[in-house]
Structure 1
Amino acid sequence: MEILLATFSALFPVINPFGATPVFLALTGAMDKATRNEQALKACLYVVGILVVFFFAGTFILNFFGLRIEDLRIAGGILITRSGLSLLNPDDAHKGSKRLSKEVQEEGLEKEDISFTPLAMPLLSGPGSIAVVIGMYNKATGYHEVGFIIAAIILVAIASYLILRSSQQFTRFLGKSGMAALSRMMGFIVLSIGVSFILNGVLSLVNMYLEK
């Protein structure tokens, strides 16, 4: 249960479905409610698939490229820290925090199905969340912990679906100032997670060299 809560608390702020709601509404503006909900559901199912695949394949990928888990933690921490800083920036928070490039948004508006790209990837399951799940795999010591981590991924996807499904109500209720405040709160948590990743990676490397 402890690793389930740790995985959920580390993954949810990085995925940050609250920050994805403005982009989601912009991409699904021409869709009816049923189609919008369907896109949200499919996107969150894809998120589970993407993260579970990287969760199990992470060690193989690191070994293939000759990387260590400490390298991933530092690189992932830098990405997560950058994301957290952008959420703390007033201009980015006002714009809904999570953003896609103009070209990706234009491509998304032309597609009938946006659930996989750009919604599931890269908007929800980007490099930061992938780094988190790969790092959690190396902390799992048995099948029961692996099961709890996968359960946490599913819970994050369920929470993300419920938030995306209620995105219109959220933005209407909170307004621009409320969304900006929420974005900054999430940004602080994301920034803390990124710093923790970097410190853990650096300390592990220092201990590794000291032991030599």
Structure 2
Amino acid sequence: MLGQLFFSAFITLFVVIDPPGCAPIYAGLTAEATQRQAMTMAFRASVIAALILIGFALFGARLLAAMHIELDSFRIAGGVMLFLIALDMVLDRNTEKRTERAEKVKASRPVVKDVAVFPMAMPMLAGPGSIASIMLLSARAHGASEMGIILAALALVMVLAFAAMVAARPIIRLLGEQIEAVVTRLLGVLLAALAAQFVIDGIKGQLF
């Protein structure tokens, strides 16, 4: 019974969080970072996202009810934020910042934008869909043992998300800078479409 619950929770969270889909986007966002910086941000993103989802699993329903916030609000807000990130990826606005790499502070590395908290931890990993899913799963849990199984499934998905983000960078870099630029722009378009879908789902939820 507990094994079936673990498998069901794992599949649900894996599909919604989508580690293989988030990984290439992360690689594009961290193209200017060193391998160590990228691994650190990937680790932080996974841990922060896990903590956010654990918090919603344990206290989400009461928190939203107390603040009079509907889940559709998360969908709309998350969609807007993701669209802004996608716009930067498509227009390649980060190229202007590449010239600043020459300005190094003595023994320090170039300043790299930290994407661990936003947009990777939230709303990419801990987005409206994953928040809704973990809240629904936790609502169906009976007792501490079943809740522990659900949280264990979440932990495994986050470990896979971390591994996918770390592995995506070297794979994309092997393809070369031109291919990397094309892939980054293509992923930006897909991310924009995902952002638009979040907004549409949020509006539908409010109207119907």
Same fold, judged at TM 0.5 (above): yes
Q: Please give the range of the TM-score, normalised by the shorter of the 2 chains.
A: 0.5 to 0.7
* Sequence identity (%): 15
Q: Is 1:136–2:158 an aligned residue pair? A: no
Which secondary structure state, in structure 2, belongs to the residue aligned with residue 67 of structure 1?
Answer: coil
- Structure 1 distance, partners of 2:108, 2:117, is 17
Q: Which residue identity does 2:133 align to in structure 1?
A: M
Q: Is 1:198–2:199 an aligned residue pair? A: yes
Q: What is the TM-score normalised by the length of structure 1? A: 0.64
Q: 2:49 aligns with which of 46, 51, 59?
A: 51
Aligned counterpart, 2:12: 3
> What whole-Å deviation, never above 9, does each CA across 1:60-90 have from its counterpart, x for those lacking one?
654454322111111101111222233222x
- Structure 2 distance, partners of 1:10, 1:66, is 31
The alignment's C-alpha RMSD in Å is: 3.8
Q: Structure 1: give runs of 5+ residues left out of the alignment.
A: 29-35, 208-212
Q: 1:121 aligns with which of 105, 108, 117?
A: 117
8 Å Cα contact 2:42/2:165 also seen in 1: yes
Q: Which residue identity does 2:51 align to in structure 1?
A: V
8 Å Cα contact 1:8/1:155 also seen in 2: no
Answer with 1 or 2: which has the greater Rg: 2
Q: What is the TM-score normalised by the length of structure 2? A: 0.65
- State the Cα distance separating 1:156 from its structure 2 match: 1.4
How do 1:28-107 residues align onto structure 2 when only pairs under 5 Å count?
A: 36=36, 39-58=37-56, 59=60, 62-63=64-65, 65-89=67-91, 91-92=92-93, 95=95
Q: 1:86 to 1:119 in 2, by over 3 A?
A: closer
Q: How many aligned positions are there?
A: 180
> What whole-Å deviation, never above 9, does each CA across 1:102-151 have from its counterpart, x for those lacking one?
8xx989x858xx9xx93633464344443344243244355566554443
Aligned counterpart, 1:163: 168
8 Å Cα contact 1:88/1:184 also seen in 2: yes
